[in-house]
Structure 1
């Protein structure tokens, strides 16, 4: 079941909230829908794109957190050591900042369009920031 449509650059992905594993993070993010920003390529973490959110507070702590999101998993870092951010892995990721390894809450998983995930990552790497929109379906 898809809860979300995520459009990033020219690509569209279906996605589901991980409501059972990260209920507080999912509820906090739902309040911000539709959510629009830009993704840029990660600096420290490997094959991923991220949305820097500065000091935007979602009011959540760690739940269902990981430092190694699989391709198609989206994590929310609630802030603390580094700024608040959302990260989408498209390949091998070890989530980190210049301060070292971090962990973020896995709260969304892509369910369709995965064949375009690596192409999105490479587009962001070689051509720069791309618009991203999260919408309820």
Structure 2
């Protein structure tokens, strides 16, 4: 089942929320839709695009957490040791901050458009921040 449309420039991705594995994270994120922000390239984690959210407190903790999201997996770090953030892996990722290894909740998986992920990653790395819109398909 597809739940969200992710748009950044001319790139379109369809994603599935991982409601069974990360129910609290998904409920929180769905309440934020449509979600508009910018992707920037990750600083420490490898081939990922991320959304820094500062010290914003989240109403959920860790669930379905991973340090190694696969390409097309989006994780949500609810804060604690480092700032709150969302990260989309477009290649190899070892999720970390300046304080060391982190784990984020895998809450969304891209199910259509995976072949465009390297384009998104390269644009974000070489051209800078990319506009991002995530909206519900239901």
Q: TM-score if structure 2 supplies the norm length?
A: 0.97
Q: CA deviation at 1:55?
A: 1.9
- Give the distance between the partners of 1:15 and 1:57, measured in 2 at CA: 25
Structure 1: tracts of 5 or more residues without a match: none
Structure 2: tracts of 5 or more residues without a match: none
Which SS does the other structure have where 1:123 is aligned? helix
In the alignment, structure 1 residue 85 sits paired with structure 2 residue 85? yes
2:33 is aligned to 33
Where do 4+ consecutive residues of structure 1 move more than 2 Å? none
In the alignment, structure 1 residue 109 sits paired with structure 2 residue 109? yes
Contact 1:73–1:110 (CA under 8 A) maintained in structure 2: yes
- Structure 1 window deviating more from structure 2 (8-17 vs 123-132): it is 8-17
- Give the distance between the partners of 1:81 and 1:54, measured in 2 at CA: 12
Q: TM-score if structure 1 supplies the norm length?
A: 0.98
- Give the distance between the partners of 1:45 and 1:8, measured in 2 at CA: 21
Q: Superposition RMSD on alpha carbons, in Å?
A: 0.7
